[in-house]
């Protein structure tokens, strides 16, 4: 891999804390989350659901009506984060949320 490729890979990565802040903003009512998937949170029950937040695309895992983790996120500027990448460096964005923020997100997801 050339130095330019390494630099591009480093700058295109989306850190978990940035995605966590996006989710926190939704939980606090500062941003609006819209469903991108055909099925609702309740219909999925155990699986992946896509949502959009101000041009951000996220795929969240529903584990029996519980927000378990963020599988994927792409920012409006094209940066990407994945569960695999985040777990290499530490927790995924959902693990960084407070219990209250997580519960609020679950309520919001159920209402989509």
How much is the pLDDT for 42?
Answer: 93
pTM of the model as a whole: 0.88
Q: Which residue has the tokens 């309520």?
A: 107
Nearest to 66 by CA among 83, 47, 51, 85: 47
pLDDT in tens, the chain (112 residues): 433 334 344 447 999 999 999 999 999 999 999 999 999 999 999 999 999 999 999 999 999 999 999 999 999 999 999 999 999 989 999 999 999 999 999 999 999 9
Nearest to 100 by CA among 27, 12, 15, 2: 27
Q: Are 74 and 6 in contact (CB under 8 A)?
A: no
Helix and strand numbers, DSSP H then E, in the chain: 5, 5
């Amino acid at each position: 891999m050339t130095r330019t490729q390494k630099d591009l890979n480093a700058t295109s990565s989306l850190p978990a804390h940035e995605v966590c802040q996006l989710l926190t903003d939704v939980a606090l009512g500062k941003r609006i989350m819209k469903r991108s998937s055909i099925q609702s949170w309740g219909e999925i029950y155990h699986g992946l659901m896509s949502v959009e937040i101000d041009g951000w695309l996220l795929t969240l895992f529903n584990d029996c009506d519980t927000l378990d983790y963020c599988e994927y996120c792409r920012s409006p500027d094209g940066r990407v984060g994945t569960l695999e990448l985040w777990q290499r460096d530490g927790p995924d964005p959902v693990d960084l949320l407070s219990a209250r923020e997580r519960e609020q997100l679950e309520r919001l997801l159920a209402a989509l």
